[in-house]
Amino acid sequence: MFVETLGKVVVIAAIAFVVLLAIALFLCFFIFHTKRIIFPNLVLFIISLLYEPLRRLLAFFRIDPNLIDRVSVEIRNMLNYQVFSDTALEDRVLLLPQCIRSTDCPAKLSSLDGIKCMECMKCDIGKLSPMCKELGVRMYISPGGTFTKRILLYNRPKPKAVVGVACYPNLHEGMLNANLMGVAAQGVPLTTTGCVNTTVDIDEILNKCKMGRSR
């Protein structure tokens, strides 16, 4: 009797898992192709719950698994829009990954401020740095995830909003963490991904940094 009940529970759980996967895939494809975001909180919840199975399933069917991260980032960008727009420029930070740097980057690593750009103009960060100073948005080049968390939690004045630049999977994780820390995040994907010499859309980053402000 016990084994029979257990068997039924396992079958019901397996069916529920498959149904949830199918719903998640349908919603992700719908959002991705139509650019219309429906049931945002439900989709985020299912993505958080089934992140790895969803990615593996897409990879099995030879579909780019980053589609899941992309949908997640677009939903969070939409959900965070108003809170982000209401923050002052001085309360915003721009977090850049170090993979944008040139392989000849002369910048030094500071334990407090991360990698300090010397504006040598060998990569796009050299253009972004003076623009951020003019805007009053603090810019950091992050040497890793621990540094990013430290900036968002302990930098003073405490950041209320962050523009994160990264590949889609890192944006998905970073925006989730920012949300847990109570910081409104906007994500901008790299235009060329990789470990070195990655590229960005400078205009898109600046537009995000200025979002909701006239300056």
Residues at the interface with ligand SF4 (CB under 6 A): 101-102, 105-107, 117-123, 125-126
Nearer to ligand SF4, 138 or 160 (CB): 138
CA–CA dist 23, 63 (Å, integer)? 17
Q: What is the number of alpha carbons within 13 Å of residue 66 lying toward its C-beta?
A: 10
- Shortest Å, Cβ 113 to ligand SF4: 13
Question: 198 with 100: CB under 8 angstroms?
Answer: yes
Nearer to ligand SF4, 24 or 105 (CB): 105
Closest CA to 153 of 124, 134, 177: 177
Nearer to ligand SF4, 116 or 158 (CB): 116
- Shortest Å, Cβ 102 to ligand SF4: 4
Q: Which residue is nearest to ligand SF4 (CB)?
A: 126
- Shortest Å, Cβ 109 to ligand SF4: 11
Nearer to ligand SF4, 27 or 100 (CB): 100
Question: 123 with 105: CB under 8 angstroms?
Answer: yes
Whole-number Cα distances in Å, 14 to 18, 54, 183: 6, 15, 37
Nearer to ligand SF4, 56 or 108 (CB): 108
CA–CA dist 176, 155 (Å, integer)? 19
CA–CA dist 42, 38 (Å, integer)? 9
> What are the residues whose beta carbons fall under 8 Å from the beta carbon of 178, sequence distance 6 or more?
152, 162, 164, 184, 185
- Shortest Å, Cβ 122 to ligand SF4: 4
- Shortest Å, Cβ 128 to ligand SF4: 9
- Shortest Å, Cβ 124 to ligand SF4: 7
Q: Which residues pair with 187 in a beta bridge?
A: 164
Nearer to ligand SF4, 24 or 139 (CB): 139
Helix (H) or strand (E) holding 114: strand 114-116
